[in-house]
Amino acid sequence: MSELEQAVKRLGKELGFDLVRITSLQPFFRDEDAALQRIRQGLMDGMPWFSEERVRKAAHPEILMPDARSIIVLAMSYYTREDEEDALPGSRGRIARYAWGDDYHKVMKERLHLFVGRLSETLDHPVKARIFVDDGPMLERAVAERAGLGWFGKNTMILTPTHGSWIFLGEVITDLVLEPDKPLLKNCGQCTQCIDKCPTGAIIAPYVIDAPRCISYLTIEHRGPIPRHLRPLVGDWVFGCDICQEVCPVNRRAEKGHEKAFTKRSGFGVLDLISILGMSDEDFRDRFHNSPIKRAKRVGLQRNACVALGNIGNPIAVPALTDALKEGDSLVRGHAAWALGRIATWEALLALELALAREEDQEVREELVFALETTAASARSG
């Protein structure tokens, strides 16, 4: 490794990145073919932005920056310390660890821009670069794998030897001519923990995810009703899911990260779902300012809260769900009906019957009828 590569990696570490690797601009043919196949099989349905055109562009970095010569991939761990939870028992909803702190897009992009600026100062000449953090046409995990930062886990996430899969990735395409690092000669062997423990069976084969079944997709990307057959499998997750990472043996020995921006905010390891149901748009913006959770939107998070409360089954939630049945958006009303049907106390059933008498939205009425009929059938069989 020459002094130039050493300077690049040293600067990345000085700016708080836990891992820094380099790869070439060669096309990612294997990953392009795999991504196109997933799209054509319907495994990316519901994410229209993940198009064939985007994949073809992402697989050929020379298109993204014609005068580029190398790609620098930098990773930052979000596996930070944990505090005590502060939501009430019986109304707790879990959120994925990556959303416990500040929005990683902002944190990573600011740090990458600083990295490029400082690199120009160090080399005493302007460095041309283009930056990517998860929201541009870049096959970032393929880049990370080829750069030797980690290897593909069977849940399709990148596993690193030191920080597991608890990392954010950023890429800098640059005009610097850099010596590429070699890929790691590692894999997951015979381990299938992530596949076996996925509640919805979304990992349909090693390295293949049926996105519309994934809890992360259902609670974040999906905007409509969560399919009824999947709702019980979502459990108490209301934003994302960490199960396939939590069960991974590699992650059990992952080092802690040090970035303060990703330290858990108060009340963010779990959310008080009853308070979520009562949120206005202004409350939502204030509570989740600079948080990835904003991506779910208020109505989406309230929909998710209804599903989680129905799965938890604690009658403490009945008054809040009853209010949501009266005043919430139609999407929320429908899922509140489902949750009340799951809890099935006499107060919950009364709320369903009263709502059915006044409800005009056809989809919500169908949810109300389903909840009442399911509860009646359960009572007869019991």
Instruction: Please list the active-site residues.
Output: 134
C-alpha torsion sign, points 243, 249, 250, 253: positive
Q: How far is CA 199 from CA 202, 238, 241, in A?
A: 8, 14, 10
Residue 6 region by backbone torsions, left for phi larger than 0, else alpha for psi between -120 and 50, else beta? alpha
| Contact (Cβ atoms closer than 8 angstroms) between residue 366 and residue 344 | no
C-alpha torsion sign, points 297, 303, 306, 307: negative
Strands 70-77 and 19-23: antiparallel
Q: How far apart, in Å, do the first and last CA atoms of the chain sit?
A: 71
> Other CB atoms closer than 10 Å to residue 207's CB: what's the count?
12
Length of the chain: 382
Written as one string, the DSSP assignment of 163-196 is TBT-EEEEEEEESS--PPPPPP----TT--HHHH
Contacts 24+ apart (CB under 8 A), 278-283: 278/320, 278/323
Nearest-angstrom CA–CA distance, 173 and 264? 31
| Encoded tokens for 154 | 């069977």
Contacts 24+ apart (CB under 8 A), 230-233: 230/200, 231/307, 231/310, 231/311, 231/335, 231/338, 232/311, 233/199, 233/200
Strands 129-132 and 208-209: unpaired
